[in-house]
Amino acid sequence: MSSSEILPSNIILNPEDRIFPEFSLTKLLHSVFDPTEGCRICILTDFEEPSKEMRRFQFLQSPEKFPVQAKAYKEFFCKLRDGVMHELGMSGGEMFAYHDTNGSNLDMKDECFDVDGSSLSLDQKIYPEYDIILCISDWSATAPLTAKCKDFGFRGATMHGLNDIILNSGLSVDYNQVSSDAEKLRLAMTGADEIEIDFTLDDSRTLTVKLFLDGQEAQKSHGLCKGKAPDIANLPAGEVYFVPVDAVGQFPMKYHDGTLGLLDVKDRNIYRSTLIEGDQVIIDEHNERLKDDPVTGTLGELGFGTQVLPASGADIQDEKVLGTCHLATGRDDHLGGDIIPEMFKTHQNSTHDDILFAPHKTPNFNISQVRMKRGEQFEIIIENFKPSQYLINALSQ
C-alpha cells in the first residue's frame, strides 16, 4: 500500500496478525446449517478401496496414508458422537466411504460402504435418508453433490484436503462474518463487464488475459446453508466468482511438477501451452489433451478470495485468501455455467480444475495488477497479490 492509502482500523490484511479461535464443530455446524434441530447427519469420505478401508475403520491403522480420512474420523465422526449431535438436536452421525474419483469434481459412483463393510447405494440409502451430509475427502465432490442435493433435498458441505491449518483457521472462523465480507466484495464487483489480469514473469515479461463477463451478477461462496433449501457449502468458504462468457490473451500456469507453461487463450478456451521452464513432456501432454478433448481447456470460472487466512498448502483454503485470484477449467454447471459432463470426450475428462495464483504457490510470477471495467467505472482490484484500496474501502463499510 502506498502512503496515500489508508487502512481502516477494522481491516487486518496479515493472517499472522489475526487471532483464530479454537476449532469448534458445534459452532461450525450451527453457524453453517442453522437450524439443525431434528436433522439427520452423516459423513462421506473416499478411498481407492472403500470396502476394505472402511470396514471396522481399517484406515485408522495407517493414518499417515489417509490423513484426510483420519482427520474426518477424529474431528468430525468422534465429536458428533461425543456430544455435538446432542447439543444441536441432531441424530445419525454415521460415516460412509465411496470410491474415490481420482479427479476434481467428477461424478461419483453410486456404491458406498458402511463400517461393517456392507455395500449401499448413495441414491437409495444415503441421499434420501440424511438432511445434512458432510463430505470430507481427498478429491472435491462439490459439483456432483450440488446436483444430487437438488434431486434429493439435502444440505451439505464439502471439505476436501482437510488438514490442521485449515481446521484451526479456515474452519474456526465465524461464517456469519465470512458471509458478510463476501457480500461486501460481491457488491463491489457485481455487474462487471470485463476483468483484465496482468502477470509479470521473472524475466520481466508481462502476460495479460482478459475475461468478458457481460455485466453478469457476481456470485459468492460464503459458507452458509441456513434454512431448509437444498444447498452445498464448499468449506473453507470466502470467494466471489464469475462464469466467463469469453476470454482472450495469455497467462502462466504452474503444473503439478513445477513446470511453468504459457497458456494461449481464444474464444474462452486454452488452445496451446508453451514451455517457459521445466519439463517439455508435461507441456506436450497438456497440448495433446487439448487437441484430443478441447472442452478440457474451457475457462469455466474466475474467482477472487475474500478472507485473511494463512496458506494451508491446499487450494480449497488458499484460493479463498484475499489478494489471490484463480481461474478454473472444465465443468461449471455447479456454478450456473453451461459446461456439463456430457460435453467431454470421456468421463475422466469432465473435471473442474482450479488454477490458483498465489505468492506461496506461484513465486516465479506476480499478479502485478487486476482491473475491472463496469460500465464507465474502472477500478484496480488487486496489485502485487494485495487487495486494492477499492476493495479495502468496500470491506470497511
Spatial CB neighbours of 191, under 8 Å, sequence gap ≥ 6: 215, 216, 217, 218, 374, 375
pLDDT at 273 (0 to 100): 98
Length of the chain: 397
Q: How many domains would you assign to the chain?
A: 2
The pLDDT tens digits of the residues spanning 65-93 come to 999 999 999 999 999 999 999 999 999 99
- The fraction of the chain above a pLDDT of 70, given in percent, is 97
Angstrom distance (rounded) from CA 19 to CA 38: 34
Residue labelled with grid coordinates 467505472: 377
Do residues 315 and 298 share a domain?
yes
Do residues 260 and 306 share a domain?
yes
Mean residue pLDDT of the chain comes to 95
User: Which residue range(s) make up the domain with 383?
Assistant: 176-395
Helices 175-189 & 25-33 angle (0-180, nearest 10): 40
**Res. 17: pLDDT tops 90:** no
Do residues 257 and 203 share a domain?
yes
Do residues 192 and 111 share a domain?
no
- 124 lies in some domain: yes
Task: Note whether 45 and 72 are within 8 A (CB).
Answer: yes
Do residues 160 and 35 share a domain?
yes
DSSP 109: P
Do residues 288 and 142 share a domain?
no
Using pLDDT thresholds of 50, 70 and 90, give the confidence band for residue 9.
low
Whether the pTM exceeds 0.85: the reply is yes
pLDDT at 5 (0 to 100): 58
Do residues 367 and 237 share a domain?
yes
- 2 lies in some domain: no
Do residues 129 and 28 share a domain?
yes
Using pLDDT thresholds of 50, 70 and 90, give the confidence band for residue 274.
very high
Residue labelled with grid coordinates 476436501: 160
Do residues 205 and 352 share a domain?
yes
Which of 5 and 85 is assigned the larger pLDDT?
A: 85
Do residues 339 and 368 share a domain?
yes
63-to-57, 135, 140, 295 alpha-carbon distances in Å: 11, 18, 20, 37
Do residues 359 and 272 share a domain?
yes
Angstrom distance (rounded) from CA 186 to CA 50: 40
Angstrom distance (rounded) from CA 199 to CA 251: 7
Do residues 135 and 189 share a domain?
no
